[in-house]
Chains A and B, each alone.
Chain A
Amino acid sequence: MSDAPVIDVRDVVKTYDDGRTLALDGVSLTIGKGEFVSITGPSGCGKSTLLHAIAALEEPDSGQIVVNDKEITGQRDLSRYRAREIGLIFQLHNLLPNLTASENVQIPMYEISISARDRARRADDLLGLVGLTGKEKKRPTQLSGGERQRVAIARALANEPPIILADEPTGNLDSKASQQVMGVLRDIQREKGVTLVLVTHDIEVAREADRTVSMLDGRIEDTGPG
């Protein structure tokens, strides 16, 4: 882990419903390279909105977000940023039902220059990394909840991004599957040295991080070790 800021969120404000709902109220946060940070708090506190803003899925009303020394706020098309700089994991695995596990992992790779054969090889390697060797040809309906989420983790790693953003990745899993998924995430974060930002309302999951950021009513209330 390094203290060099990879993600720098500066006084970010985000509202919905024409300003009537305040989701982020001047949030500032820095995250270092290779750091594992969990963002926790009750429902509606703004933790997912913050993650979406860092993922360039939501445009803040004001403030700045700088990732790897590049400002992502106010940019017109951030597809390249999303394809190469970050890997996203959702609460619901969001796998395409008509594709196999391997094909799902290949989805982000369509945006980088790589042959179909290399795409398939890399996808199978990543599935091996998350413990799904032999399940490459399985469709999402043929996998358990935990396995689907591990496919989603492999997909997030597809383009070897330096940052993984995970939004409640264990939210829909039982405790055993949750432990497996967190184990995979932790191992990958350590082995690959990626920066991991994980949103969760589960205190036990949050404690596994190097640092925990607690949010309430759109503001960061507390920051402390995991």
Chain B
Amino acid sequence: MSFFLLIFSNLMRQKTRTGLTVLGISIGITTVVALGIFVNSAKAATEELLRAGGADFAVGRSGSADLTFSTVTEEEIADLEAYDEIEHVSGVLIALSQVGSNPFFFQFGINAEDLEFFEAPLVEGRDLAAGATDEIMLGTGATSELDATVGETIELRDINFTVVGIFQTGATTLDGGSLVPLAVVQELERKPGLVTLAYVHTRPGTDIEALAEQIEDDHPNLTTLLDLGDVGDVDQGIEILDAVNLGITILAVFIGGIAVMNTMVMAVFERTREFGILRALGWRTRRILQMVLGEALLLCLIAAVFGSVLAVILTQFITLFPVVSAFITPQYDIEIFLRGLAVGVGVALLGAIYPAFRAARLSPAQAIRYE
């Protein structure tokens, strides 16, 4: 019998206790992994938004509390277009409203002329016509959710729009929403002459980082958004999510650690005599340590696997709801599952170190006499 099988066999002695401990730790790991999946998904969605329409980067209002609160004026867009390195700037006003069962249906207000640069590849139909005020283009996600096709009329914020085209960009937020004439969205949002973000397309060979730096120097009230690391300048949401994720991970380790400690302390107390026998039969303290830590580690690894599988099932289930799927597509990055595994190992070590040392330090003679 290998040492590993011996460890496994020891865990199986108290099946109910082992099962309940695994379940308890699994719930913690499920929380950590599921939250990690959603945070990463939200980050991916935000990053997609920064590069929407194939832009090199976006420009927003510095210091905005939320990305959607950012406002860039038409004058500032004109200033941006004056840079030699910039080929085109597409101003997009982002708005949200309820459509059907989705309370967060995105409308991206955009000028029809900008669609020449703002990439929204058509799957069916055509782009918005210049000057039209009653046309809408739907992303493929929105189409399936609204069950609408080209030529049909849909009501959005008490206005009837004709679906003229269906597009697919690969970005969850865009594909789950719609492209609407900018003037219409500005009127609905009461934001005349304003957009949320300016999407910048540069000329070939442009040093994008140098250009972004120049723009920020020239316009202190604007911030350039090249990647996720810049989002904190216009939105604290991701940072808050990261902080919550870290907090829950630490909590999961501590709560899980206490559960493991409880289980392992009970196991060590119950098996005091057994440890004495093992020491009397020549087992070194190190081997006793290995056995107890191994039992805790195996317990937590089983919980990590179980918890990760549960997290995947849970996130798949949650994203069945349009309110969630409109924003994110679950991102199952290996890093998230490694974090779940790390939590499992952390929990095992935290919970088992005391009982393992207690078991290893038992006097053989006293342990044998223990009843």
Whether, in the assembled complex, A195 has its beta carbon less than 8 Å from a beta carbon of chain B, the answer is no
> In the complex, are the beta carbons of B1 and A98 less than 8 A apart?
no
Interface residues of A in 52-108 (CB under 8 A from B): 52, 55, 57-58, 77, 79-84, 88, 90, 94, 96-99, 103, 106-108
What are the residues of chain B within 8 A of A88 when measuring CB–CB?
A: 280-281
Whether, in the assembled complex, B282 has its beta carbon less than 8 Å from a beta carbon of chain A, the answer is yes
Q: A98-B9, A98-B13, A119-B1 are in contact. Are A110 and B283 (CB under 8 A)?
A: yes
Q: Mark B267-288, 1 if CB is under 8 A from A, else 0.
A: 0000001100111111111010
Interface residues of A in 118-132 (CB under 8 A from B): 119-120
Q: Chain B: which residue is nearest A81 at the CB level? A: B282
> In the complex, are the beta carbons of B364 and A57 less than 8 A apart?
yes
Q: Chain A: which residue is nearest B273 at the CB level? A: A94
Whether, in the assembled complex, B3 has its beta carbon less than 8 Å from a beta carbon of chain A, the answer is yes
What are 10 pairs between A and B in contact, CB < 8 Å? A52-B365, A77-B284, A79-B279, A84-B282, A94-B274, A99-B9, A103-B1, A108-B283, A110-B287, A159-B282
What are the residues of chain A within 8 A of B282 when measuring CB–CB?
A: 79-84, 108, 111, 159
Contact of A83 among B9, B281, B364 (CB under 8 A): B281
> In the complex, are the beta carbons of B280 and A107 less than 8 A apart?
no
> In the complex, are the beta carbons of A155 and B365 less than 8 A apart?
no
What are the residues of chain B within 8 A of A107 when measuring CB–CB?
A: 278, 281, 283
What are the residues of chain A within 8 A of B3 when measuring CB–CB?
A: 110
What are the residues of chain B within 8 A of A159 when measuring CB–CB?
A: 282
Q: How large is the interface on B (under 10, 10 to 19, 20 to 34, 35 or more residues)?
A: 20 to 34
Whether, in the assembled complex, B82 has its beta carbon less than 8 Å from a beta carbon of chain A, the answer is no
B124 to chain A, nearest CB (A): 65
What are the residues of chain B within 8 A of A90 when measuring CB–CB?
A: 277, 368
What are the residues of chain B within 8 A of A52 when measuring CB–CB?
A: 365
Whether, in the assembled complex, B318 has its beta carbon less than 8 Å from a beta carbon of chain A, the answer is no
A83 to B278, CA, bound (A): 10
Whether, in the assembled complex, B12 has its beta carbon less than 8 Å from a beta carbon of chain A, the answer is yes
What are the residues of chain A within 8 A of B277 when measuring CB–CB?
A: 90, 94, 96
What are the residues of chain A within 8 A of B368 when measuring CB–CB?
A: 57, 90, 94
Whether, in the assembled complex, B325 has its beta carbon less than 8 Å from a beta carbon of chain A, the answer is no
Most chain B beta-carbon contacts within 10 A, residue among A57, A77, A120: A57
> In the complex, are the beta carbons of A155 and B9 less than 8 A apart?
no
A98 to B295, CA, bound (A): 14
> In the complex, are the beta carbons of B1 and A116 less than 8 A apart?
yes
Whether, in the assembled complex, B16 has its beta carbon less than 8 Å from a beta carbon of chain A, the answer is no
A58 to chain B, nearest CB (A): 5
Q: A52-B365, A97-B13, A98-B9 are in contact. Are A82 and B281 (CB under 8 A)?
A: yes
Most chain A beta-carbon contacts within 10 A, residue among B13, B281, B287: B281
> In the complex, are the beta carbons of B1 and A108 less than 8 A apart?
no
A160 to chain B, nearest CB (A): 12
Q: Chain B: which residue is nearest A102 at the CB level? A: B1
> In the complex, are the beta carbons of B287 and A55 less than 8 A apart?
no
Q: Chain B: which residue is nearest A111 at the CB level? A: B282
Q: Mark A162-204, 1 if CB is under 8 A from B, else 0.
A: 0000000000000000000000000000000000000000000
Whether, in the assembled complex, B10 has its beta carbon less than 8 Å from a beta carbon of chain A, the answer is yes
Return the 3 tightest CB-CB contacts between A and B, nearest first.
Answer: A83-B282, A82-B282, A57-B365
B298 to chain A, nearest CB (A): 15
A71 to chain B, nearest CB (A): 18
A98 to B14, CA, bound (A): 10
Contact of B281 among A99, A116, A155 (CB under 8 A): A155
B315 to chain A, nearest CB (A): 38
A55 to B3, CA, bound (A): 25
Most chain A beta-carbon contacts within 10 A, residue among B10, B278, B365: B365
Q: Chain A: which residue is nearest B271 at the CB level? A: A96
A84 to B282, CA, bound (A): 8
Contact of B10 among A84, A98, A116 (CB under 8 A): A98
Q: Chain B: which residue is nearest A120 at the CB level? A: B1
What are the residues of chain B within 8 A of A81 when measuring CB–CB?
A: 282
A52 to B12, CA, bound (A): 32
Interface residues of A in 141-159 (CB under 8 A from B): 155, 159
What are the residues of chain B within 8 A of A120 when measuring CB–CB?
A: 1
Q: Chain B: which residue is nearest A112 at the CB level? A: B282
Contact of B280 among A57, A106, A111, A119 (CB under 8 A): A57
> In the complex, are the beta carbons of B280 and A99 less than 8 A apart?
no
Contact of A116 among B2, B278, B364 (CB under 8 A): B2
What are the residues of chain A within 8 A of B279 when measuring CB–CB?
A: 79, 82
What are the residues of chain B within 8 A of A58 when measuring CB–CB?
A: 365
What are the residues of chain B within 8 A of A106 when measuring CB–CB?
A: 1
A52 to B277, CA, bound (A): 12
> In the complex, are the beta carbons of A111 and B1 less than 8 A apart?
no
